[in-house]
Amino acid sequence: MGAPASWPEPGDSGELDDGTRVEFWDYGVFALTPAQPGSKDVILSCAIHGNETAPIEMVRDMLHDIFSGKLQLRQRTLFLIGNPQAIMIGKRFVDYNMNRLFSGAHKSGDTPEHKRAADIESYVTKFYNEAPADGKRQRLHYDLHTAIRDSAYEKFAVYPFTHGGPYKKEQLTFLAECGVTTILLNQAPTTTFSYYSVRSHGADAFTVELGKVRPFGENDMSRFADADRMFRKLISQDQLDLPAFDATRHTIFDVYRTINRTQQGFRLNFPGDVANFTEFEQGYLLAVDESVEYHVEQPGERIIFPNADVAIGQRALLTVVELPLDQLELV
């Protein structure tokens, strides 16, 4: 399969020289199946927020190397570029934050993001359902992001709610090899993309924050080298040769509070450039939602994902606290 004579259209398909089948399901949606697929079904997604460019560049380069024969695929892989319309205008989204629209939340509206989230759910379902029915397959999904602001921990991953299930040492070790040693546990259902894959498809799935948002061409891709190397290994090898689990590599945070914006006059009481995971002293006024004040309630409470400009009813701030790893059930 050489360079196409024209841009592909949804529904187009072809075959690479090594027998890998390439199906173009939609704009930004590439389903690749090796001639002899391994035991993993991997989704690598990016651009659920259209201005998070470094993961888009990573996925672009992986696809280029697969199509040119430089990277040989071994595992079924769905490359999913979430919001092409937002990419085209260089914005986080067109009308609505898409990462609040999964697990059926897209039914609440008809913006481009609502429609795209519904389509994405159908593509994930199709991809996992079309896997060989051998009963021994591993479903994996890494939703790649970069954050709006700096972070005291540059790279971190959100481990979606497991509904009482154990946390997996293999996945924590894989993320550590990607350079992601800080983990934020989400202890409740959400409408994020990664939680959708966990709850609806039984996948091991994560929201992976790899750094800070920058325009195309301004990313220092050397800062993403470990993640790029490990994702390439994941999809091109039969088995990953991971080191033994080492608890000392990981810093774990648990969500303590979710603070939503409920009023037009909501404001945060700290500068806009304050980094994720910044710790404030007990009693500090974090936010004001018109007549309601939110103060730091306990020592060690940190802020993450602050955004006073979210729509009314949406999350404007999380606070987190560090959690000893020995308090988790690990397998």
Digit-coded pLDDT (tens) for 52-93 = 999 999 999 999 999 999 999 999 999 999 999 999 999 999
First and final C-alpha spacing in the chain: 42
Mean pLDDT of the chain: 95
Please determine, for residue 219, whether its predicted confidence score (pLDDT) is greater than 80.
Answer: yes
Q: Cite the active site residues.
A: 209
**Tokens 């651009």, residue located:** 47
CB atoms within 10 A of CB 119: 14
Against a cut of 0.75, is the pTM above it?
A: yes
Report the C-alpha gap between 153 and 4 in whole angstroms. 42
User: DSSP for 70-110?
Assistant: SS---SEEEEEE--HHHHHHTSS-SSS-GGG-TTTGGGG--
* Residue closest to 49 by CA, chosen among 278, 227, 214, 272: 214
**Nearest alpha-carbon partner for 76 in 39, 25, 26:** 39
| 43 in Cβ contact with 123 (< 8 Å) | no
* Rounded-to-10 torsion of CA 307, 313, 314, 315: 70
pLDDT of the residue at 7: 64
132 pLDDT above the threshold of 70: yes
Instruction: State residue 98's pLDDT score.
Output: 97
Confidence (pLDDT) at 74: 98
Task: For 280-312, write each residue's pLDDT tens digit.
Answer: 999 999 999 999 999 999 999 999 999 999 989
* All residues at 6 or more sequence positions from 163 whose CB lies less than 8 Å from its CB, including other chains: 199
Q: How confident is the model at residue 193 (pLDDT cuts 50, 70, 90)?
A: very high
Q: Which amino acid is at 72?
A: Q
- Give me the percent of the chain exceeding a pLDDT of 70: 98
Q: How confident is residue 323, by pLDDT bands cut at 50, 70 and 90?
A: very high
State yes or no: pLDDT of 322 exceeds 90.
Answer: yes
Single-letter amino acid code for the residue at 100? R
Q: What is the pLDDT of residue 102?
A: 98
pLDDT band at 121, cuts 50/70/90? very high
> pLDDT tier at 135 (50, 70, 90 boundaries)?
confident
Compute the distance between CA of residue 226 and CA of residue 211 in angstroms, rounded to an integer: 13
pLDDT at 136: 85
**Which of the four pLDDT bands, split at 50, 70 and 90, describes residue 2?**
very low
- Using CA atoms, how far residue 220 sits from 33, 54, 55, 188, in Å, is 31, 8, 12, 34
pLDDT-based confidence at residue 3 (cuts at 50, 70, 90)? very low
Model pLDDT, residue 272: 86
Average pLDDT over residues 259-277: 94
Identify the pLDDT of residue 168. Answer: 98
pLDDT value for 145: 98
Taking the C-alpha atoms of residue 236 and residue 233, their distance in angstroms, rounded to an integer, is: 5
Taking the CA atoms of residue 173, residue 168, residue 42 and residue 237 in that order, the dihedral angle to the nearest 10 degrees is 50
Is the pLDDT at 274 greater than 90? The verdict is: yes
- pLDDT at site 6: 59
Residues facing 14 on adjacent strands: 22
Longest dimension (CA), the chain: 65
Instruction: Give the per-residue pLDDT at 134.
Output: 80
Q: Is 275 helix (H, G, I), strand (E, B) or coil?
A: coil
Q: Sorting pLDDT into bands at 50, 70 and 90, what band is 9? A: confident
Contact 197, 124 (CB under 8 A): yes
